[in-house]
A and B are shown apart, each in its own frame.
Chain A
Amino acid sequence: MDSALVLILLSALRVSLPLLFAATGGYFSEKSGVAQIALEAYLLIGAFTAASFTYYSKSLVVGYLAAAVFTALFSQIFSLLILKFKGNSIVIGTGLNLLAMGIIPIISKTIFNSTGSTPSIELPEASPYFPYIVLVLTLAVSFWLSEKTIWGLQMKFAGEKKLALQSVGISPSLRQWQSLTYSAFVTGLGGAVLSTSLSSNYSPLMSSGRGFIALAALIFAGWNLPRSLIVCLFFGLCEALQIQMQSNEAISTYIAAEFIQMIPYAATLAALLVLRSKYPPAELK
């Protein structure tokens, strides 16, 4: 095969990594009946936590684990406001996104005396395959949880028919809480990939809308996890192409960079229009 093509495909897979995590995370929240627009916040929190922990511990494993745990802790605010105080998930999700943007510079200032980027991580020994191993593990666990276990079935009933779940004596809020926490846990891993594998430090707003792209992929793929992962890969492919085109002088002299950068978003939008589906979980709010 053409080596340029292989390079593009590899780079496509690489840039779609955070999306794959975020879409998987989003899946668990949405399926349990809670609209999840705070994926963006989870990616940022995950990215910052991973960058900080990896910087001090010099270990990717510690960084990833910390990212997942801290994001899951952060998501407790979301769960509390929505499940306990019955808040509107869109409003609270928006609030959480803003909170993440605000709280990270404060913490960063305290630790690194800088509100911008964290110091860069140098890990010459780290395996480039590490994020892929984590991805495969995450997808396997997620599939097993949602398709094979009783818990997964109950989680779906929380999103489809609460009454049925109550009638067998299970609290829908409890399953939703567990699902939301897992959702943040997985999305936090995506954030870790963003700051430690796709770049070597945390920089402000580095998620740049990936949380929303993952959510859009999920919604338009009809809340079907495998299909939404394919949409994410497609976005990654367009992103890789876009990067190639920008570095190609023959193209970039004629087309403004802004238009080239638009490609992945426009292409994803077009693809989603073709793939769109109309069956949200019945109790999704």
Chain B
Amino acid sequence: MNYIEFRNITKSFGEFVACHDVSISIKKSEVHSIIGENGAGKSTLMKMLGGIEPATSGDIFLNQKVYKPNSAQDAFKNKIAFIHQHFVLAEQLTGLENILLSFSSGSFSLKIKNTSEVLAAANKILSRFNWKIELSKPVSQLSVGEQQRLEILKALLQEPEIIIFDEPTAVLTPQESEELMQFILQLKRENKTIILISHKLNEIKSVSDSISVLRLGRLIQSSPARELSIENMAELMIGRQVVKNTNFTRPTEREVLIKIPNSDISLFQSEIFGVAGIEGNGQSALIASLLKEMSDRQIKYGDITEDRIKLSVFENMNLWEHMLLKHKNEFLSKGLIFESRLRKVTEDLVKNWDVRPVDIDKPLSEFSGGNQQKFVVGRELWNHPDALLAAHPTRGVDLGAQENIHNSLLEFSKQKKTVVLVSSDLNEVLYLSDRFVILNKNKIYGPFNRGELNEQQIGLIMAADNNDGIRLAGQL
């Protein structure tokens, strides 16, 4: 018997069709994963179930009955909880206050808050899962993992039957992710139905009973998890095989490019130097000091910043203006712009990097995140710098574009160049880096050579309160 059924669901935003005739059946008490690249329509589909967006056409059946939610409240009432990727928490209010909010009603209410009752219920759930969250602390003082648990706790207090997790492990350490997966299995044992949206295929493989693959808004396949291998999933998601670059040998004699300030680490030419760690452990300080060092030494460098919207681009300027911004000396003479050359160069770049649509007069905001990022990477590498600082270069970028960016980083490093790769995605750091360091609380641990540590060991160093005995290379 199917518990939740999407029947011929289509959702369009104006011209753009986010979901096209999607039909998926989900059984009771199973973990059903929905995978796909960015923009494949997985979040949109779940938002319809969560009452956040209505479907353009098609029906959702819940327990054999037509289910048409008009708001998140309706989903609530139908025992559906949505754990968002971006936490919906007020950071300056306490954990308890954030929980209390979900017990309030829409009508004007002066009723005194039933604090103690809610607190008791919350503590009961916390102890059931052996979690510790200080609910009296402001949310901003909780770790990301704790914030997520708070978000889950908030949902569980409403005693939902169906729980939707939208990319839940994107911000967690490997240990936290593993614990979350165990937690999902525990919920399943308690007869809850779990829908998991993710693109971390190994996690999906480990917990799912069924998997549905979406690509460009269409359902590609929906089948039991045991019938799919990780390679199959990746292939179905992007529609072709993923070619993993095999490693190549580095020249043995390499010249030192620069040293990382306040540490004893030298960066060599022809290498990719990884920086792993949970965000906010000193990445920004490290990037800032490296940038300063490079400009002091007049090393030509490209800079893929950690926050594209804030630091790299102006969303309402078009592509050739962005090109001009970064490489103004190439296109300016006596205050005049060589516009024809600028346009030609930008057009070539857009074609080389497969930025779509090919329209250099469009403002950047009209490009998808992945295309924006491809353009930024292309722009930063355009004048053949000696070093490239890449902070989270593939964040918010789909698998295809990710592969593309990874390959170009590898290619670039082969040309006697240095890449510093800062990423919170551990797999990315491990896959690309020749050597890497781990940041924890503004301390730099390492450097470690490729293969020196496994994922588990790295996760421990990333999350530990105390890393005595680990090679300490510097302090930020």
Taking Cβ atoms with an 8 Å cutoff, the residues of A that contact B are 145, 148-151, 153-154, 156-157, 160-161, 163-170, 178, 279, 281-282
Contact present for A161 and B89 (CB under 8 Å): yes
Contact present for A150 and B93 (CB under 8 Å): no
Chain A positions within 8 Å of B76 at CB level: 168-169
- Report B138 CB to chain A, min CB distance, Å: 9
A/B interface sample: 24 pairs, CB < 8 A: A145-B110, A149-B109, A149-B111, A149-B112, A150-B100, A150-B110, A150-B112, A151-B108, A151-B109, A154-B109, A156-B93, A156-B97, A157-B93, A161-B88, A161-B89, A164-B101, A165-B101, A167-B72, A168-B72, A168-B106, A169-B71, A169-B106, A170-B106, A281-B92
B contact patch SS: loop
On whether A282 and B113 interact (CB within 8 A), knowing A150-B104, A168-B73, the answer reads no
- Closest A residue to B107 by beta carbon equals A170
- Report B77 CB to chain A, min CB distance, Å: 10
Contact present for B90 and A160 (CB under 8 Å): yes
B210 sits at the interface (CB 8 A)? no
Contact present for B71 and A151 (CB under 8 Å): no
- Closest A residue to B104 by beta carbon equals A150
Chain A positions within 8 Å of B101 at CB level: 153-154, 157, 164-165, 168
Which residue from A148, A149, A160, A169 sits with its C-beta under 8 Å from B92? A160
Chain B positions within 8 Å of A164 at CB level: 88-90, 98, 101
What is the 8 Å Cβ interface bit string for chain B, positions 99-125, against chain A (1 contact, 0 not)? 011111110111111000000000000
On whether A168 and B102 interact (CB within 8 A), knowing A160-B90, A161-B88, A282-B92, the answer reads yes
Chain A positions within 8 Å of B100 at CB level: 150, 153
Contact present for A149 and B98 (CB under 8 Å): no
Contact present for A157 and B90 (CB under 8 Å): yes
How many A-B pairs fall under 8 Å by CB? 72
B434 sits at the interface (CB 8 A)? no
- Closest A residue to B108 by beta carbon equals A151
On whether A169 and B73 interact (CB within 8 A), knowing A156-B90, A157-B93, A160-B93, the answer reads yes
Docked pose: A145 CA to B92 CA in angstroms: 19
Contact present for B88 and A149 (CB under 8 Å): no
User: Looking at B71, B92, B100, which has the most chain A CB atoms within 10 Å of its CB?
Assistant: B92
Docked pose: A3 CA to B312 CA in angstroms: 66
B167 sits at the interface (CB 8 A)? no
- Report A116 CB to chain B, min CB distance, Å: 43
Docked pose: A51 CA to B91 CA in angstroms: 44
Docked pose: A2 CA to B104 CA in angstroms: 53
Docked pose: A65 CA to B28 CA in angstroms: 60
Docked pose: A279 CA to B91 CA in angstroms: 10
On whether A169 and B113 interact (CB within 8 A), knowing A156-B90, A163-B88, the answer reads no
Total contacting residues, chain B, CB less than 8 A: 25
Chain B positions within 8 Å of A279 at CB level: 92
- Report A73 CB to chain B, min CB distance, Å: 20
- Closest A residue to B111 by beta carbon equals A150
Chain B positions within 8 Å of A148 at CB level: 112-113
Which 10 residue pairs spanning A and B have beta carbons closest together?
A160-B90, A169-B73, A161-B90, A150-B109, A150-B104, A164-B88, A149-B110, A169-B106, A167-B72, A170-B106
Chain A positions within 8 Å of B89 at CB level: 161, 164
Contact present for A154 and B98 (CB under 8 Å): no
Contact present for B97 and A153 (CB under 8 Å): yes
Chain B positions within 8 Å of A178 at CB level: 108
Contact present for B104 and A168 (CB under 8 Å): yes
Docked pose: A178 CA to B109 CA in angstroms: 12
Chain B positions within 8 Å of A151 at CB level: 108-110
Docked pose: A161 CA to B154 CA in angstroms: 15
Docked pose: A160 CA to B88 CA in angstroms: 10
On whether A282 and B110 interact (CB within 8 A), knowing A153-B97, A154-B104, A169-B73, the answer reads no
Chain A positions within 8 Å of B113 at CB level: 148-150, 153
Chain B positions within 8 Å of A281 at CB level: 92
On whether A167 and B91 interact (CB within 8 A), knowing A151-B110, A153-B100, the answer reads no
- Report B97 CB to chain A, min CB distance, Å: 6
Chain A positions within 8 Å of B91 at CB level: 160-161, 282
- Report B426 CB to chain A, min CB distance, Å: 29
Contact present for B90 and A169 (CB under 8 Å): no
Contact present for B112 and A167 (CB under 8 Å): no
Docked pose: A185 CA to B47 CA in angstroms: 41
Docked pose: A74 CA to B98 CA in angstroms: 34
Q: A160-B90, A169-B71, A169-B76 are in contact. List 8 more A-B contacts (CB 8 A).
A: A150-B109, A151-B110, A153-B100, A153-B104, A168-B104, A169-B106, A282-B90, A282-B91
Docked pose: A170 CA to B105 CA in angstroms: 8
- Report B309 CB to chain A, min CB distance, Å: 18
What is the 8 Å Cβ interface bit string for chain B, positions 68-94, against chain A (1 contact, 0 not)? 000111001000000000001111110
Chain B positions within 8 Å of A153 at CB level: 97, 100-101, 104, 113
- Report B99 CB to chain A, min CB distance, Å: 11
Chain B positions within 8 Å of A149 at CB level: 109-113
Chain A positions within 8 Å of B98 at CB level: 164
- Closest B residue to A161 by beta carbon equals B90
User: Looking at A154, A163, A167, A169, which has the most chain B CB atoms within 10 Å of its CB?
Assistant: A167
Docked pose: A166 CA to B73 CA in angstroms: 9
Chain A positions within 8 Å of B88 at CB level: 161, 163-164, 167
- Report B113 CB to chain A, min CB distance, Å: 6
Chain B positions within 8 Å of A161 at CB level: 88-91
